[in-house]
Structure 1
Amino acid sequence: MRERPLVADLVKDTFVPKMFRVRQKFPRPRIDPADIPDIIRSLLSEEKFASRVKPGMRIAITAGSRGVANVALTTKCIADFVKSRGAHPFIVPAMGSHGGATAEGQREILAGYGIVEEYVGCPIISSMEVKKIGVNDEGGDVYIDKNAAEADGIILGCRVKPHTAFRGPYESGLMKMMAIGLGKQYGAEVCHAEGFKNMAKNVPLFGRCILKNAPILFGVPTIENAFDETCKIVAVAAEDIDAVEPELLKEAFSYMPRILVDSCDVLIVDQIGKNFSGDGMDPNITGTFCTPYATGGIDAQRVAVLDLSPETHGNGIGLGYSSATTKRVFDQLDLASMYPNAITCTVLGGVRIPIVMESDKETIQVCIKSCNEIDKSNPRVVRIPNSLHLEHIMLSESYLEEAKNNPQMEIESELEYLPFDEDGNLW
């Protein structure tokens, strides 16, 4: 590869500024995981919910593909309650086209989160087969997981959270778990067919049809705080989902973390992955939205992605919204796991491959060098570990006075240059 030395030479003199570490302060309401079994047992013991689970019933419990806090524990607790009522629970992966749109791939995703039969104490039935359960108010056919459709009841386990590609009263949560999660590859594709411009309409359109025609009993959604910790668990009866979920979404928005500076020249993201966000890096944090139908996050002129998380198993979706990445990331990419999700949701930008540089240093340097109308001698650089864990981040020297005057920031280190090794990689 004769071009590589030339490319490296183009950026080798680009200045990378000194950085300092800060702790960002966010409200932290939190449920101790040790209390979760008692909380779920208490919620579901209310007559409104307990009366719906009758002896002998086969009940499907949904589990999604997101890195939800305590997801294995909450799923187990729901299954334990079902068994305590004399019914027979089983887990269904409810994740649309994720896991390479295969039954085994979806089972593997659940296993990665600790949702295995030995732990949850009931079968996991993973299949991509779907069954038509009705027609929505616009005349469209609605399909869901066949095993769930044929169960005596369905309990929705999920998290309520702002979506990464659209805005509406129902984003990531109960309605979407039904409309897209339970829809598997086929249902997800149908729901996405009109694009994210219409997703705020289609999620409740399909969700309401499922509520009407499938044996949904209730949901047990969670909300997380800014530290990726469970801070609220509720039980919502099927007939109340339509009215209750929008209020839960507003509460989830209030707990979202953020980068406490509004803009930067270069945002460095140490890792992206499906365990951090369905988009690899949550655009509600990074500003790297895949559609014009949602906004927010930091305003960054360039984004550098340095690595993939081990948990994402090579799925580098979201990488396409970065400006440059490392050869290390490129070598890990599993295109077979990336493409089905992108094709299904009809947004291809996230699986494009940006500029690939040999090292962390070169990746950062090419981002700084290619910025327009900035102070190259004092660039504004922000470094985050990922888009989910934002308590401790790094800022460049240009932010020092701003950080000193921000009561939500605590400076934790002196100014220092990033510690690159002899190969130009951070250690």
Structure 2
Amino acid sequence: MRKRPFVANLVNDTKIPKMFKVRQVFPRPKIEVEEIPLLIEKLLSEEKFTKQVHPGMRIAITAGSRGIANVALTTKCLVDFVKSRGAVPFVVPAMGSHGGATAKGQRQILEGYGITKQYIGCPIISSMEVKKIGLNAEGSEVYIDKNAAEADGIILGCRVKPHTAFRGRYESGIMKMMTIGLGKQQGAEVCHEAGFKNMAKNIPLFGKAIIEHAPILFAVPTIENAFDETCKIVAINSDEIEEKEPELLKEAFSYMPKILVDSCDVLIVDQIGKNFSGDGMDPNITGTFCTPYANGGIKSQRVAVLDLSPETHGNGIGLGYASATTERVYQQLDLASMYPNAITCTVLGGVKIPIIMESDKEAIQVCIRTCNEIDKQNPRIVRISNSLHIEHIMLSESYWDEIKDIPNLVIESEPQYLSFDYDGNLW
């Protein structure tokens, strides 16, 4: 993009206030990495699990597109369990239309998380081909990954977490992994067609049909704490999923972190990406919800997104909920990766392109400049690295006295101006 000095001149006198570092204190229950293999081995040693896996069976193990803590290790543990029973495991990507809705793209996502044939010790069979397995209770056709459907059994590896676009008894978790993850492009599209307004109904509607008509054996979901660390792993038989998943979701909500100030004029997000959230930046943190069927997070007038994570491979979904971004972000965008996800879920707002400024400094300035009814000399600004890691954040000087009354906020530095390089980008 060519230089736009006139645009820069409109904002270059806008003051960016001093900011200071703050540590947010959250509960931190945690399972140590070295404990995970023995824990999963113990969980799956129960007879109700061991009796379902026999020598020679072909067992599909699911792995999704989210940046789940220890996902390569937990997947490998499931592979090792299947092998220990004399069965033959393989991993299938269960991520709906993600990865550009291509088999290659979905395999690459798994490899980016360390789920490779060499590490887990079994093949990864990535395909967008689906198979009809039956009808749900309302008579709609139900599809899942063809390779999984034709296996002798399916083990669901996943994480239970609050969703970013709706609320219900089942959100991101086991039911959704079956309904949308295993459904691939076609299954995801069928479920999304009715919109997020009906997602709380459709996920269990299709999920129950998959339990009934597909060879689902059991699930091994994880829950994470506020620091993106594994804090709970359970094993749930297929006939227990409907009853037990809602309680796991409640527990996941209890560990959900948040920005411990309720509102700001401008929220600065250093990076967004699919590895942080399916929405690029988790609206449960940032308040940037794509639908009216969920709420929460910090309230802000403007949001500045400064960069994409390397792990997102140009998928800038979620950028549409920013007020401003940088030319650096624009140049990285892979529209072929972004658009299939948006089209499939029928929500196009996340792939819109906000105002593009040449540098970090200008993106921040234009957000401050365009806020209404604020103190422009002392704007309330919150800066986070991304929506997944918010233990350490930055606040503008206007919060200095206010946060002394907020429990679990620890000031870590004196206020000082942000450092920008010659091009106007943050050091």
% of aligned pairs identical? 80
Residue 35 (1) aligns with residue 35 (2): yes
Give the counterpart letter for 2:288 in structure 1. Answer: T
In structure 2, distance between residues paired with 1:422 and 1:105: 37
CA drift of 1:401 comes to 1.1
CA drift of 1:300 comes to 0.7
Residue 385 (1) aligns with residue 402 (2): no
In structure 2, distance between residues paired with 1:18 and 1:125: 52
Identify unmatched segments of 5+ residues in structure 2: none
- Correspondence for 1:303: 303
In structure 1, distance between residues paired with 2:7 and 2:87: 63
In structure 2, distance between residues paired with 1:323 and 1:83: 50
- Correspondence for 2:125: 125
SS in 2 for 1:77: helix
CA drift of 1:3 comes to 7.1
- Correspondence for 1:332: 332
Counterpart mapping for 1:174-213 below 5 A: 174-213=174-213
In structure 2, distance between residues paired with 1:297 and 1:183: 30
Counterpart mapping for 1:415-426 below 5 A: 415-426=415-426
Residue by residue, what CA displacement relative to the aligned partner does 1:230-266 show, whole Å, maximum 9, x if unpaired?
0000000000000000000000000000000000000
In structure 2, distance between residues paired with 1:17 and 1:58: 60
Residue by residue, what CA displacement relative to the aligned partner does 1:86-128 show, whole Å, maximum 9, x if unpaired?
0000000000000000001000000000000000000100000
SS in 1 for 2:4: helix
The total of aligned residue pairs comes to: 427
- Correspondence for 1:292: 292
Give the counterpart letter for 1:117 in structure 2. Answer: K
CA drift of 1:405 comes to 2.3
CA drift of 1:55 comes to 1.0
- Correspondence for 2:252: 252
SS in 2 for 1:61: strand
Give the counterpart letter for 1:263 in structure 2. Answer: S
Q: TM-score normalized by structure 1?
A: 0.99
Give the counterpart letter for 2:102 in structure 1. Answer: T
- Correspondence for 2:316: 316
Counterpart mapping for 1:26-425 below 5 A: 26-425=26-425
Give the counterpart letter for 1:87 in structure 2. Answer: A
CA drift of 1:422 comes to 1.6
SS in 1 for 2:275: coil
- Correspondence for 1:12: 12
In structure 2, distance between residues paired with 1:154 and 1:104: 22
Give the counterpart letter for 1:372 in structure 2. Answer: N
Give the counterpart letter for 1:240 in structure 2. Answer: E
Give the counterpart letter for 1:109 in structure 2. Answer: I
CA drift of 1:404 comes to 2.1
In structure 2, distance between residues paired with 1:8 and 1:209: 56
Give the counterpart letter for 1:49 in structure 2. Answer: F
In structure 2, distance between residues paired with 1:28 and 1:340: 37
CA drift of 1:155 comes to 0.2
CA drift of 1:2 comes to 7.5
In structure 1, distance between residues paired with 2:137 and 2:281: 34
Q: RMSD of the TM alignment (CA)?
A: 0.8
Give the counterpart letter for 1:408 in structure 2. Answer: N
CA drift of 1:207 comes to 0.2
CA drift of 1:283 comes to 0.2
Give the counterpart letter for 1:19 in structure 2. Answer: M
Residue by residue, what CA displacement relative to the aligned partner does 1:178-205 show, whole Å, maximum 9, x if unpaired?
0000000000000100000000000000
4+ runs of 1 displaced by more than 4 Å? none
Residue by residue, what CA displacement relative to the aligned partner does 1:282-303 show, whole Å, maximum 9, x if unpaired?
0000000000000000001100
Q: Which moves more between the two structures, 51-60 or 69-78?
A: 51-60
CA drift of 1:406 comes to 2.0
Residue by residue, what CA displacement relative to the aligned partner does 1:298-347 show, whole Å, maximum 9, x if unpaired?
00110000000000000000000000000000000000000000000000
In structure 2, distance between residues paired with 1:236 and 1:202: 21
- Decide whether aligned partners of structure 1 residues 185 and 2 sit closer, same or farther in structure 2, where only a CA change above 3 A counts: closer
SS in 2 for 1:48: helix
SS in 2 for 1:21: strand
Identify unmatched segments of 5+ residues in structure 1: none
